[in-house]
Amino acid sequence: MLLKSNGKIIASDVEFARSIVSQTRGLMFRKNIQNNYALVFEMRKPKRVSLHMLFVVFPIDVLFLNESKTIIRTAKLSPWIGRASSGEKVKYIIEMPDGTISKNDLTVGVQVSF
């Protein structure tokens, strides 16, 4: 379960991508994801990261989190051509369905838990 700092549930179906293979694959080749879904990438140590939407056929929202699970950047990515960079070192990345950021008022400085 993925929660906002105020206890509001953001996603109840949470998958973790911890291995290099699962992180490389991400959401590629999936036809869609459910509204309550989140894919959490956990880096071994904080680092700058870039994302691409190659072979992802639906738009997504992305959260970049530091070690304390505080949002330091958000992004909305378009199918196939979307790109985003964390800008600074992050420990976690969360990919969610399009619209999740605005629906849950997820902004820089908000803390999440999982």
Q: What class has domain 2-113?
A: mainly beta
**Overall average pLDDT of the 101-114 stretch:** 96
Question: Which pTM was predicted?
Answer: 0.94
Query: 23-27 — which CB contacts under 8 Å span 24+ positions?
Result: 26/51, 26/56, 26/95, 27/56, 27/60, 27/95
| Tens digits of residue pLDDT in 50-102 | 999 999 999 999 999 999 999 999 999 999 999 999 999 999 999 999 999 99
Q: What gap in Å lies between CA 103 and CA 41, rounded to an integer?
A: 22
Beta bridge partners of 2: 11
| Tens digits of residue pLDDT in 6-58 | 899 999 999 999 898 999 999 999 999 999 999 999 999 999 999 999 999 99
pLDDT at 5: 82
Domain boundaries defined on the chain:
2-113
The dihedral built from the CA positions of residue 17, 29, 56 and 50, taken in this order, carries a sign that is positive
